[in-house]
Structure 1
Amino acid sequence: MISVRKIVRAINLESKRIEKNLGISIPQLLTLKHLNEQSDYKSTMRRLKDFLSLNASTVTGIVARLEAKGYIARLPDPNDKRSTPIVLTSKGNELIKKSNESLHERISRNLDRISDEEYLIIVQPPYSYFFRNFHYLL
């Protein structure tokens, strides 16, 4: 159980490290990485909402903050005035490259140190929340 607490603490510390070093939150980083994984570097608010498993108003705030920092842009769709695709900018792409020492590497190192029994504990609630919502970083 001590190892599980260490992993949860490592996740919290990594989240703070990302915010300090990159100036963005984990959900914002996940948004940038999601856009980076798309073949055209674009997504919609609906797809982001579904990907992040967050409500629409929360995603709207995330997108607004990233847009204000120049990491993403909203492009009007000439074929559908109701839709405004969100695209990753070159500045956003550079930030993703900067985050190479990722949470994945740190979590992987910690997961390698725990027993199978402890691993089964962390994939159950309440710890499973992290793996369900931040698996993209892993």
Structure 2
Amino acid sequence: MKHNEGVNFESIIFDYMDEIKLLFFPDQWSSAFLDYSKNELLVLIFLYRKKSANMTEISEYICAPLNTTTGVVGRLEKKLMVERKRDEEDRRVVNIVLTSKASEFIDREKKIIEHYVEKVLKALTEEEKVMAINIVNKIFSALKQEKYPTKDEESSVKKVKRIFIE
């Protein structure tokens, strides 16, 4: 019998979606958090943690080309969430920083997330917490492995060696 034979993944996914949908009800979750694109949220979180970054650093963090990053930062500027500041030492360098509106927004959203995490942690034993963390780490590892194969997996792929003949 195959490892996943007889498992109805579609049913499992939809069942989990039904269970977690309460997180997206307006009274449970701030709808403002859902008003931003994935890249906008990544930029906000990156700047919240780093305080200041240039466009190249942001671009590398969100894994997007500079022109995409420029558009993302531009939209966040229009929403008054970030601003561009010239570097004091080198006026050619422009850094992106969060506005106070953005910092307050992230602090509010963090409190909501912390509330749910605390609720979940209270329901788990110490052993279950350790197991949950291990499972989540294993899931991330499996997903990363598909996107970013290790050196061993890369070398197992046969490469055509080009021989130049004069």
TM-score w.r.t. length of structure 2: 0.52
Number of equivalent positions: 114
Q: Report Cα offsets for 1:31-77 as digits up to 9, x if no partner.
A: 11111112xx1111111111111100111011101111111110122
Which residue of structure 2 lines up, in the alignment, with residue 82 of structure 1? 92
Which residue of structure 1 lines up, in the alignment, with residue 32 of structure 2? 21
Unmatched segments (≥5 aa) in structure 1: 129-138
Q: Residue 77 of structure 1 contacts residue 84 of structure 1 at CA under 8 Å; is this kept in 2?
A: yes
Worse overlay, 80-89 or 59-68? 80-89
- Higher relative CO (Cα under 8 Å, sequence separation at least 6) belongs to 1
- Equivalent positions of 1:4-83 (< 5 A) are 6=13, 20-22=31-33, 23-38=35-50, 41-83=51-93
Question: Greater Rg, structure 1 or structure 2?
Answer: 2
Give the whole-Å Cα distance in 2 for the aligned partners of 1:123 and 1:43: 25
Q: Report Cα offsets for 1:98-129 as digits up to 9, x if no partner.
A: 32244x95xx99x94xx79x836544436x7x
Q: Residue 19 of structure 1 contacts residue 26 of structure 1 at CA under 8 Å; is this kept in 2?
A: no
Matched-pair identity in %: 24
TM-score w.r.t. length of structure 1: 0.61
Unmatched segments (≥5 aa) in structure 2: 122-130, 149-166
